[in-house]
Amino acid sequence: MRAFFFALLCTACVSAPQPTPVSPTALKGVTLSLPTPQDARRSDNIGCGQFAPQLPQAVGRAVVASLGETGVSFAQQAPWVLSLSVTFAGTGDEYVGAQRGPPQFGSAPAGLAFEERSGGMNAGWDDTSLALDATLERDGNLVWHGTVTGHASSVPCVAHREKLDEATRDAVGRLRVELIRRMASARQPPP
């Protein structure tokens, strides 16, 4: 039990990884329209008995702040349009999907708190994640469509909102890297 509290204390003190630095002129001269992200999740439940009905709006604000650091300007009508949908956000066993083995009946065997569910280390850790479906268009033509997912390792139901924020920052950072790459290649004149 003492080891569990020590591990919990260690994870609470660990800071999130720093976002990769980006040039403030990486997308200078680009004007982007960003409609409010759609909520394509099955429910507002993000696990651990918590709900986040305003998550798409928070994601939209995070994307605006992140892309604003690259020199992008925003407008209602723009040549570039980025459409986003939040397809998944949450953590916990209710999100792990189908069981990988046959059902176990009876009581669970006693073991370490951090054992894998199938037996091993770190099973008590959950992956908090947020998935964004993104579509980038330029002048009505599709430039890129894809999914980016942000992750944060967490102890089950401890600092749940903070870990979801960390996963959101990770997803937005990955989206920013992808958009810089796609926009730079689409802005290059053909040889």
**35, 57 Cβ separation under 8 angstroms:** no
Per residue in 39-68, pLDDT (tens digit) is 999 888 888 888 899 999 999 999 999 999
Q: What is the pLDDT of residues 94-153, one digit of tens each?
A: 444 333 344 455 554 444 444 444 444 444 567 889 999 999 999 999 999 999 999 998
Rounded Cα distance, 61 and 57, in Å: 6
Q: What is the pLDDT of residue 28?
A: 92
> 190 falls in which pLDDT band (50, 70, 90)?
low
The answer to whether residue 60 is domain-embedded is yes
Which one is predicted more confidently, 74 or 116? 74
The residues with which 121 forms a beta bridge, in sequence order, are: 115
Q: Give residue 146's pLDDT.
A: 97
Q: What's the confidence (pLDDT) of residue 96?
A: 41
Torsional sign, CA 170, 70, 82, 190: negative
Closest CA to 153 of 38, 57, 16, 21: 16
- What does pTM read for this prediction? 0.74
Q: Is residue 163 part of a domain?
A: no
Using a CB cutoff of 8 Å and minimum separation of 24, what contacts does 111-115 make? Answer: 113/3, 113/4, 113/7, 114/4, 114/7
DSSP assignment of 55-109: HHHHHHHHHHHHHHTTT-EE-SS-SEEEEEEEEEEE-SGGGS-S-SSPPP-SPPP
What is the residue-averaged pLDDT of the chain?
79
- Of 72, 70, 175, nearest in space to 133 by CA: 175
**Rounded Cα–Cα distance for residues 166 and 128 (Å):** 9
Categorize the per-residue pLDDT at 19 as very low, low, confident or very high, splitting at 50, 70 and 90: low
CATH assignment of the domain containing 57: 3.30.2300
Answer yes or no: is 44 within a domain. Answer: yes
Number of domains in the chain: 1
Residue 79 belongs to domain spanning: 26-90+132-149+176-191
Q: Is residue 112 part of a domain?
A: no
